[in-house]
Chains A and B, each alone.
Chain A
């Protein structure tokens, strides 16, 4: 008798609690056919901490116009690519995420993003931006910012823009021997290697990673860096390593601190450091990277973009939000203010808020000579060997051209195995 009462009581309380807890579940899942039903769909966006506030701000007007809620979740940028690839197929991933244009190939290879129809808006973007989110002829993202490295110069130590790398190093060495500086030239390398920052120097020898097909896409079958130009660059690395100008113990942090403390006239770095450098050295100049091999020192131009998940149940809403709200001039200007990277939308780049910012203009000027960071999956085969080999060459661990050949052979094998 007593037991029955207990169980009944338990059942009643349980039912009540379950009812309270469960009441919002069915509502969340409706997106059914009735025309008069209110919209209850909501968009989930993954973004990093810098961009989230701007996206939330744009989401407010989107929600007001359409009634669709937008939830922005802050994620660690470094892990987002792989997390998204493994989560998207389960249907648990976001509808929209921010990411690098160079992720495009990997996303398409895994079928996790959907093509974005930019319509006539596409013409409004910088060519290199659209190129970086294009894979096999289809556009998969809406670019919002460009990023590339340039050379920061401390005018107190080097009053003039050097024309060549040799000139820059001469100026630097003069400053070192005069006792006004500690390092002739700063470039972050790290014990793990940093081919991204080194790329403009490699390009000045005419050794791009991949050849390009006529349409402008990168061709994974043609490793263009594996020629005599590449070896000339390798020899240059060895020479600079021996001279102690390139150091593999030079991490990003050490380089930044040294430049901020006025210990070197030059550093190769990107817009993410502009604010700190300007605070430390108010008249810091941003120059194109001087050529070491005679040709133009083109940096990689990376793109930051919004992607839409192939498994999103809210394709229309996601496309509307991305193309019409985040692709708007206002949004791109706001994103520039938050992240400091020049906008990908030309109209936004020409906006007074951006155009009057000397650093953005300077980076844009360098970007014009840049090449887009390869977005093909084969690029993943390149990074590791490329970085390790540059480190080995700089540290003088063998004949530079033999090491370079080995790296090329290994990269070729990996690309062939993967395809």
Chain B
């Protein structure tokens, strides 16, 4: 390329956006954009088809934004930012908002869905099959859009016919196949496939046995056989109450359950917002309060100790291996990075095996068959998870420290030496402050990461051991593994409570990070 063409090119680029210029790769861009649009449109259509309006609206807006942005001549920065922003919205912002919402609800076992589902489930349970009652093969007929059940009767040559509005009654001119009536003049008999084509209508069809509701109603659950049921629960939509067969009235207790005056609740309930009660229960519930603060303290200790020890270890290794007189530095460096190269999952599992009190390598070989309960006694377990976590974390510290040291101008050290500073003084007064400027943000993010380091705890000890077999939290439980225990391990899944604690974790980590970053700025100004 000549200098001339280079000077000509920029104005042309400025005039036209890549999306509209007939340049090489245009076809590819067009196809890509079309694909995105097609996918988006498909998503909108699919979302509308299942009536997920929020998702449909989000997709439509996102699609419009993407199109406007990529067809526009300006908005160059947006072209780079939009994909990331969209994914941030879906994977981060939405999740945080949803967690925030769920933290204020009683979402969990027994409060799993909405009120309508709960009513349906209660009424479904509240229909009882009458013992020794009618149970017969059924034919399903249709006339003028209304569905009918045709059943055999105990009268010879007669059959029973009924619909949702007309109770069962005897009819004379039914067509029989053996003892089973299969048709009636004027009515169409539905075939198996037609029955399945409108299975929800047929499944919901309840044909009264007589004018008296106490006689029950006939239903089919498979489209082939009919049985008689009586309702033991009745829903009154105007009063929003459910009445049981024994006359007990259950009304909405405002906490997502139908409850009688005596306080007896019907299951299932439904999800309702409960204000701050998930948050207050951390303080007020005794079985939660004790473990919560213990776990909180250990979480801080664990995260801070991990970062400090790992950083100290990594930095000293980096300093040592940076010294020109050390031989085989490359090989040593490669070896030090090894723990970082193993997947953390694998490391944790391997360590768990090594630390097994009876069959583990450490007790068997290093301690000559001693019976040391590395993972089973509370303080040793804390020590073990800390050591393993430091082992997994220090190579990273070693890497970043090496990088920072090597980028440091050697004149600084020489100048300090000339001024008569010893190596200790050089390290503390010159190198470390300079290192911290570039490494402090990494230390902070490392702290946040370890604050929520679920893997290393869960894979090593599952949060255990329990000091007392009935404790709610184990000795090595950090907040996030405690939340997991609450949400998935206990008697009832308590998603609402787990979300509340997750939110607290989020606030703690965000607060500490924000504070530390401000401190880091001070550090920068100092230099």
Say if the beta carbon of A385 comes within 8 Å of chain B: yes
Chain B, Cβ-Cβ closest to A390:
B469
Shortest CB-to-CB span from B461 to chain A, Å, is 10
Residues of A within 8 A of B33 (CB): 10
In the assembled complex, the CB of A145 is this many whole angstroms from the nearest CB of chain B, namely 22
CB pair A35 B20 closer than 8 Å: no
Chain A residues closer than 8 Å to B194, beta-carbon distance: 35-36
- B window 4-30: CB within 8 A of A: 19-20, 22, 30
Interface check A41, CB cutoff 8 A: yes
User: Is A29 touching B135 in the complex (CB atoms < 8 A)?
Assistant: no
CB distance from B113 to the nearest CB of A (A): 3
* CB atoms of B125 and A138 under 8 A apart: yes
Q: Cβ of A67: which chain B residues have Cβ within 8 Å of it? A: 193, 196
A182 touches B (CB below 8 Å): no
Query: Contacts A38-B197, A316-B202; is A18 near B109 (CB within 8 Å)?
Result: no
Known: A82-B493, A89-B114, A112-B112. A41 touches B41 (CB 8 A): no
Interface string of A105-136 (1 = CB under 8 A from B): 01011111011110110000000000000001
Q: Verify if A178 is at the interface (C-beta below 8 Å from B).
A: no
Contact A310-B114, Cβ < 8 Å, known A324-B222, A388-B466: no
Does the CB pair A116–B221 fall under 8 Å? yes
> Which of chain B's residues have a CB closer than 8 A to the CB of A313?
200
A229 within 8 Å of B (CB atoms) = no
Whether a CB of chain B sits under 8 angstroms from the CB of A314 is yes
Is the CB–CB distance between A385 and B470 below 8 Å?
yes
Binds A, one of B44-52, B164-172, B206-214, B340-348: B44-52
Asked if A89 and B128 make an inter-chain contact with CB atoms under 8 angstroms apart, the answer reads: no
Return chain A residues, CB-CB under 8 Å to B469: 385, 388-389, 391-392, 403, 406-407
Q: Verify if B240 is at the interface (C-beta below 8 Å from A).
A: no
Q: Is A279 an interface residue (CB 8 A)?
A: no
* Known contacts A117-B221, A319-B222, A403-B469: A21-B38 contact under CB 8 Å: yes
Taking CB atoms and an 8 Å cut-off, the chain A residues in 366-404 that contact chain B are 377-378, 380-381, 384-385, 388-389, 391-392, 403
- Provide the residues of chain A in CB contact with B492, threshold 8 Å: 377, 380, 418
**C-alpha gap A7/B72 in the complex (Å):** 11
With A319-B222, A403-B469 known to touch, is A6 a contact of B30 (CB < 8 Å)? yes
Measured between beta carbons, the chain B residues less than 8 angstroms from A85 are: 109, 112, 493
Chain A positions within 8 Å of B193 at CB level: 38-39, 66-67
Contacts A10-B33, A17-B38, A414-B491 given; does A316 touch B199 at CB 8 Å: yes
Say which one of B115-123, B303-311, B415-423, B452-460 lies at the interface with A: B115-123
Say yes or no: B142 contacts A137, CB within 8 Å. Answer: no
Q: Give the distance in Å from the alpha carbon of A414 to the alpha carbon of B494 in the complex.
A: 13
1/0 per position for B465-490, CB-CB distance to A under 8 A?
Answer: 01011100000000000000000111
Residues of A within 8 A of B (CB): 2-3, 6-7, 9-10, 13-14, 17-18, 21-22, 25-26, 28-29, 31-39, 41, 65-68, 82, 85-86, 88-89, 91, 106, 108-112, 114-117, 119-120, 136-138, 191-192, 249, 310-311, 313-317, 319-320, 323-324, 377-378, 380-381, 384-385, 388-389, 391-392, 403, 406-407, 409-410, 413-415, 417-418
Interface CB pairs A-B, < 8 A, 28? A2-B22, A6-B19, A6-B20, A10-B37, A14-B38, A17-B38, A18-B37, A25-B45, A33-B201, A35-B142, A66-B196, A82-B488, A82-B493, A85-B112, A110-B112, A111-B117, A111-B122, A111-B268, A112-B112, A112-B113, A120-B135, A136-B125, A137-B128, A310-B121, A317-B196, A320-B223, A323-B222, A377-B491
Q: How many residues of B contact A (CB 8 A)?
A: 76
Q: 14 new A-B pairs (CB below 8 Å) besides A41-B197, A117-B227, A320-B223? A: A17-B37, A18-B42, A65-B192, A89-B114, A106-B109, A108-B121, A109-B109, A114-B124, A116-B221, A120-B135, A315-B199, A319-B222, A388-B466, A414-B490
Partner of B287, one of A26, A38, A413: A413
Residues of B within 8 A of A380 (CB): 490-492
A/B pair count, beta carbons within 8 Å: 207
Question: Is B275 an interface position by the 8 A CB rule?
Answer: no
CA distance A291 to B268 in the complex (A): 41
Residue of B at shortest CB range from A254? Answer: B359
Is the CB–CB distance between A18 and B112 below 8 Å? no
Give the chain B neighbours of A191 by CB distance below 8 A. Answer: 376, 464
Which residue of chain A is the closest to B267 with respect to CB atoms?
Answer: A109
A89 and B118 alpha carbons, distance in the complex (Å): 10
Contact of B158 with A by CB under 8 A: no
- Smallest CB-CB separation from B190: which chain A residue? A35
How far apart are the CA atoms of A247 and B182 in the complex, in Å?
67
Q: Give residues 113-150 of B contacting A (CB, 8 Å).
A: 113-114, 117-118, 120-122, 124-125, 128-129, 135, 142, 145
B225 surroundings in chain A (CB, below 8 A): 117, 119
Which residue of chain A lies nearest to B470 when distances are taken between CB atoms in the complex?
A: A410
B357, CB-defined interface residue at 8 Å: yes
Q: A88–B121 Cα gap in the complex (Å)?
A: 13
Which of A21, A22, A117, A407 is within 8 Å of B222, CB to CB?
Answer: A117
Q: How far is the CA of A38 from the CA of B193 in the complex (A)?
A: 7
Given the complex of chains A and B, what is the CA–CA distance between A305 and B69 in angstroms? 54
Please give me the residue from chain B that is nearest to A314 by CB atom.
B199
B431 an interface residue at 8 Å Cβ cutoff? Answer: no
Q: Which residue of B lies closest to A106 (CB)?
A: B109
Which residue of B is nearest A139, CB measured? B129
Q: Closest CB-CB distance, A118 to chain B, in whole Å?
A: 10
Check B117–A89 contact: CB distance below 8 A: yes
In the complex, what distance in Å separates the CA atom of A236 from the CA atom of B481?
34
Confirm or deny: B31 has a beta carbon within 8 angstroms of a beta carbon on chain A.
yes
Q: Quick one: given A111-B118, A316-B195, are A26 and B49 in contact (CB under 8 Å)?
A: yes
